[in-house]
Amino acid sequence: ITYVPVLERASTLISELDVLSSLAYVASYNPHGYCRPIMTDGEDDGMGIELKKARHPCVELQDDVDFIPNDITLKYGESNFLIVTGPNMGGKSTYIRSLGAIVAMAQIGSYVPCTSA
């Protein structure tokens, strides 16, 4: 009798519970607040992503970083691309990573680090 499949399944369940409880903890106790995103499935003009005061979930919690939230608006029919410019170390990569993290968090059903989404 081998217990390997049972232990593998238990490990998977425990890791999933760990992720879900971590997301719930951060959303509940973050000093800046998280919001529940409103999801749509349409691709009509005007639909898309509209985030107010979006923050990167990891960078905002660092003590030595002065983080400035950003508004992000990407809508169908208004533009096909976005140009992000600025000086070196100006936060361009963090801006894009924030968008990616927020979209991923919203797609798994988590609250997101914004005032509205």
Residue 57 lies in a domain: yes
Structure confidence at residue 31 as a pLDDT band (50, 70, 90) = confident
Q: Which helix (H) or strand (E) holds 69?
A: none
Residue 22 lies in a domain: yes
Residue 115 lies in a domain: no
Strand partners, 49: 74
- Predicted pLDDT of residue 4: 94
Structure confidence at residue 62 as a pLDDT band (50, 70, 90) = confident
Residue 12 lies in a domain: yes
Domain total for the chain? 1
- Predicted pLDDT of residue 105: 92
DSSP for residue 60: G
Structural domain harbouring 24: 4-107
Q: Per-residue pLDDT tens for 76-86?
A: 877 777 788 88
Residue 49 lies in a domain: yes
Burial class (CB in 10 A: 0-12, 13-18, 19+), 94: buried
Has residue 15 got a pLDDT over 90? Answer: yes
pTM (global) more than 0.85? no
